[in-house]
Amino acid sequence: MRYYTDREAKDALMETGRQLYQQGLTVGTDGNLSCRVTEDTLWTTATGARKGFLTDEWLVKTDLAGNVLEGTRKPSSELKMHLCLYKANPRALAAVHTHPPFSTAFAAANLGFDRMLLAEEGLYLGHVQVAPYATPGSAALAESILPYCWDNNAVLLANHGAVTWGKNLSEACARMETLERSARIRYYCLTMGKAQYLSDEEAQVLHQKGVALGNFPK
């Protein structure tokens, strides 16, 4: 694993925000992004930032206690969730939180991906579950993801949105794209009234391939 430099981190945050906005995975000031630059420091988006139009002004550097080290704005109120993730999963070096339509619909319906439907879920995401509802920005929301952030790379937030993570922002963003595509296909299957889920054996083979690719812990 390799940490970003400060400049690389800021550039990656701005580029990731643009990609998410262009794909309709974030609108307005929804969501927040972060990436680590050392074991105990990170860059994140400021509260009120429009992710598709980020500049240096809208980025803040903090430590893992949430203390601001650089930047003039307040970090997102949901920084606590990112900090909990990084403390619990040292493999996570970047995180993306957005409110993508199909994924958020599953979160609002309390429908996790209990059985694997697509190969990409087993290779890149893991078992995507719904964390219990908690008020956005609260310590309870941050703690709600803890049971899901070690063996998996994505979690749905009840009545709220989704979070993905990875070894860099490109990987975390790609996983958010995969999550939303999977949620969309699952929705289509539900409307058709039929879905051919993978067997437990097939799902396990995919998971082991994901482990071999370095996507999950051994």
pLDDT tens-digit map of 29-64: 999 999 999 999 999 999 999 999 999 999 999 999
Q: Tell me what pLDDT residue 15 has.
A: 98
- At 65-77, the pLDDT tens digits run 999 999 999 999 9
Please count the other Cβ atoms lying within 10 Å of the Cβ belonging to residue 190.
Answer: 13
The pLDDT value given to residue 1 = 79
3-state secondary structure the chain: CCCCCHHHHHHHHHHHHHHHHHCCCCCCCCCEEEEEEECCEEEEEECCCCHHHCCHHHEEEEECCCCEEECCCCECCCHHHHHHHHHHCCCCCEEEEECCHHHHHHHHCCCCCCCCCCHHHHHHHCCCCEECCCCCCCHHHHHHCHHHCCCCCEEEECCCEEEEEECCHHHHHHHHHHHHHHHHHHHHHHHHCCCCCCCHHHHHHHHHHHHHCCCCCC
Task: List the chain domain ranges.
Answer: 6-212
pLDDT (tens digit, 9 = 90+) per residue, 15-33?
A: 999 999 999 999 999 999 9
pLDDT of residue 218: 87
CB count within 10 Å of CB 118 equals 18
**pLDDT tens for each residue of 141-188:** 999 999 999 999 999 999 999 999 999 999 999 999 999 999 999 999
Provide the annotated active-site residues. 78
Is residue 46 within 8 A of residue 73, CB to CB? The reply is yes
pLDDT at 214: 95
Q: Report whether pLDDT(125) > 90.
A: yes
Q: For residue 81, name the pLDDT band (cuts at 50, 70, 90).
A: very high
Residue 196 has pLDDT above 90, yes or no: yes
What's the rounded mean pLDDT across residues 128-139?
Answer: 96
**Single pTM value for the model:** 0.96
pLDDT of residue 198: 97
pLDDT at 38: 97
- Could you please state the CATH topology (level 3) that the domain comprising 6-212 is classified under: L-fuculose-1-phosphate Aldolase (3.40.225)
Q: What's the average model confidence in pLDDT over 199-205? A: 97
User: For tokens 């719904």, what's the residue?
Assistant: 130
